[in-house]
Amino acid sequence: MTGKKLFFLLGLVGVVCIAAGGVVYAITRDFSVVPLSLVWGGLLSLLIFFYVNFSEIRRFVSKRSTKHGANMTVMIAIFAVIIGMTGVMSVRYKMRVDLTDSGRYSLSQQTVKILKSLENDVEAVAFYRTDERSRQAMHDLLKEYSYHTTKFKFWSVDPDRRPIETAKYGVTSYRTTLIRSQGKQEVVSFESEEKITNALLKVIRDQVKTIYFLKGHGEKGLQDDQKTGYKSAGEAIEKETFEVRDLLLVNEERVPEDAAILVVAGPRKDIPPAELEKIGRYVDGGGSVLFLLDPLLAPEISKHLEAYGFKIGNDIIIDKQSKMLGANYLTPVVMEYNQKHMIGRDFSFVTFFPVARSIEVQEEPARGKYNLAKTGSSSWAKSKGTLDEDDVKFDPAEDQRGPINLAAVSIIKVTGGENRPPAKAANRGDAGAPTPETALEEGVNRWGRIIVVGDSDFAGNAYLNLMGNKDFFLNMVGWLAEETALVSVRKKSTELSPLTLTDTQGNLVFWLCVILAPTLILAIGVGVVGRRRWAS
């Protein structure tokens, strides 16, 4: 063996020794005598190799091909580093966009808000067979939940492969998911965000709050499935994990102590003074009331609310812009909401209020008084004269030009303290609506809350699911019940969006796709073959 080959072999041995030392250290995690000897011996061998072959290495490096190769190596290394950094950044800083019309691949704002407000750990255990088709759908949905908070953890169990664990949880059927927290447990048997979120709310809440609907004065009924009934509204509230009940206040000494909210939904007759006094005591004691008042009705209720700073208009709102959206001129369209209050913040949906009156308060943020929603500039409030659909005109002498407020809110401090919200309210971003915890810290037990809306039909069966009506109604309910996590935009139902074509459009698609396009391709092919044969 020549000296040149011997020194080349020495360099190869040096590389092998360094690699072997690195492997031994990776396995033992101890830089002991063996890996140290291998690495040190390899470095000495390489040093001798470079010293003996220095002149040849210098000539090799000075070649043009070597320089080009080095440049290529450097570019490849830089490209690899960029790819690696991009991968690391994509893992640490994620941004996902759901481009589907219904948002089927992302959670609703409401669910995300609930997840970010979790104080205790929540776990979800999905019992699905490995070969079950719906298993992946539930896994993807639960993964989306865990993405938004570290307090939500989930895993899957195959009942056939792990029967002992299945029996430990008391599960007896496939396609079952358990939502668990602090000893509470709810069962979900369908891959639905709505059902999972409802189960989540049940296990994180200490109690189920009750919402009472006043009756006995011609109010909208919870069991009424007609156009103006409130059956859909009651079901929507129950899906928010509240309990809904009727209340005949004339038979009670006071509003029940377990009432989270009292809803007065479109009374056709005035509420007697004795009942108004009971409602007043309830509010002054820290209760929450939602008044939905239709035009030209219940003057005694209007006088009662004036004591809380509300100005109830004895009028009807006219809005010609509603004609452009398919409604009549007596259905005001609302697209402007008070962004300073939690109910209107980030709310951007159009809402419709069939036959509405004006509702207004003198805004005082320090006292929690806000106008929540207003109509556009093309509307006005008509208080006198007759309504003629064929000749609706604005009378500057009698009518009030828009925008017109038709929903307002106010908070009322409990008896015995200064009527102002705690100073920490501004930091919470709740526009003067203190939480019970903050009120207790500052020496106040509770605050009464009142929302007045100049229409009740917007939450009826016929209009609740129209545009943003349901979200706006449920946001008011959530805020009044002091469940701020529920004040958000909910998941829209996933529906098919069929493409409907007229006969002409169908024929056009048929001739373009089935007849003309294939015929044109065939003609071009025949022409190409003929030209080649003619040329040959």
Summarised one tens digit per residue, pLDDT across range 447-463 is 899 999 999 999 999 99
pLDDT at 461: 93
Nearest-Å Rg of the Cα atoms of the chain is 36
pLDDT at 438: 43
pLDDT at 518: 86
Instruction: Sort strands 184-188 and 176-181 into parallel, antiparallel or unpaired.
Output: antiparallel
Residues 6+ apart with CB under 8 A from 463: 352, 354, 457, 469
- Any idea which of 29-43, 293-307, 335-349 has the lowest mean pLDDT? 29-43
User: Is the pLDDT confidence value at 210 over 60?
Assistant: yes
pLDDT at 388: 56
pLDDT band at 272; cut points 50, 70, 90: very high
DSSP 8-state assignment for residue 84: H
User: Is the pLDDT confidence value at 498 over 60?
Assistant: no
Q: Please indicate whether residue 74 or residue 439 has the higher confidence score (pLDDT).
A: 74
pLDDT at 501: 60
pLDDT band at 231; cut points 50, 70, 90: very high
pLDDT at 7: 63
- Any idea which of 185-194, 222-231, 372-381, 391-400 has the lowest mean pLDDT? 391-400
- Any idea which of 185-194, 366-375, 471-480 has the lowest mean pLDDT? 185-194
Per-residue pLDDT averaged across 243-248, rounded?
A: 93
pLDDT at 423: 38
pLDDT at 183: 85
- Any idea which of 261-275, 372-386, 421-435 has the lowest mean pLDDT? 421-435
User: Is the pLDDT confidence value at 491 over 80?
Assistant: no
User: Is the pLDDT confidence value at 487 over 80?
Assistant: no
**Nearest-5° angle of CA 276, CA 278, CA 282?**
115
- Contact in structure between 193 and 108 (CB atoms under 8 Å): yes
Per-residue pLDDT averaged across 93-121, rounded?
A: 76
Nearest to 278 by CA among 212, 364, 367: 212
pLDDT at 33: 80
Residues 6+ apart with CB under 8 A from 509: 501
Phi and psi at residue 229, in whole multiples of 5°?
Answer: -70, 170
Structural tokens at position 168? 């430990």
Q: Please indicate whether residue 390 or residue 225 has the higher confidence score (pLDDT).
A: 225
N-terminal to C-terminal alpha carbon distance within the chain: 65
DSSP 8-state assignment for residue 369: B
DSSP-assigned beta bridge partners for residue 318 = 380
Indicate the burial class of 107 (C-beta count within 10 angstroms; 0-12, 13-18, 19 or more): buried
Q: Please indicate whether residue 134 or residue 99 has the higher confidence score (pLDDT).
A: 134
- Beta-strand ranges (E) seen in 399-461 are 400-401, 405-413, 447-453
- Domains of the chain, each with CATH number or no CATH: 3-92 (no CATH), 109-201 (3.40.30.10), 208-314+356-371+400-486 (3.40.50)
SS3 231: helix
Tell me how far apart the alpha carbons of residues 189 and 186 are, in angstroms, rounded to a whole number.
Answer: 10
User: Is the pLDDT confidence value at 219 over 90?
Assistant: yes
Tell me how far apart the alpha carbons of residues 124 and 136 are, in angstroms, rounded to a whole number.
Answer: 15
pLDDT at 409: 94
SS3 109: helix
- Any idea which of 179-193, 328-342, 428-442, 475-489 has the lowest mean pLDDT? 428-442
CA atoms within 13 A on the CB side of 397: 1
The secondary structure of 255-293 as a DSSP string is: S-TTEEEEEEE--SSPPPHHHHHHHHHHHHTT-EEEEE-
Tell me how far apart the alpha carbons of residues 187 and 202 are, in angstroms, rounded to a whole number.
Answer: 11
What is the pTM assigned to this prediction? 0.65
Summarised one tens digit per residue, pLDDT across range 351-383 is 999 999 999 999 988 888 999 999 988 888 888
Q: Please indicate whether residue 247 or residue 425 has the higher confidence score (pLDDT).
A: 247
Per-residue pLDDT averaged across 35-39, rounded?
A: 83
**Nearest-5° angle of CA 321, CA 323, CA 326?**
125
DSSP 8-state assignment for residue 423: T
With tokens 């447990």, the residue in question is 185
pLDDT band at 529; cut points 50, 70, 90: confident
Instruction: Sort strands 333-337 and 379-382 into parallel, antiparallel or unpaired.
Output: unpaired
pLDDT at 422: 40
CA atoms within 13 A on the CB side of 174: 12
Phi and psi at residue 149, in whole multiples of 5°?
Answer: -160, 145
Sign of the CA dihedral running 519, 521, 522, 524:
positive
Per-residue pLDDT averaged across 130-159, rounded?
A: 89
pLDDT over 90, % of the chain: 28
Supply the mean pLDDT for the chain: 81
pLDDT band at 281; cut points 50, 70, 90: very high
Tell me how far apart the alpha carbons of residues 499 and 509 are, in angstroms, rounded to a whole number.
Answer: 13
Residues 6+ apart with CB under 8 A from 511: none
Q: Please indicate whether residue 472 or residue 395 has the higher confidence score (pLDDT).
A: 472
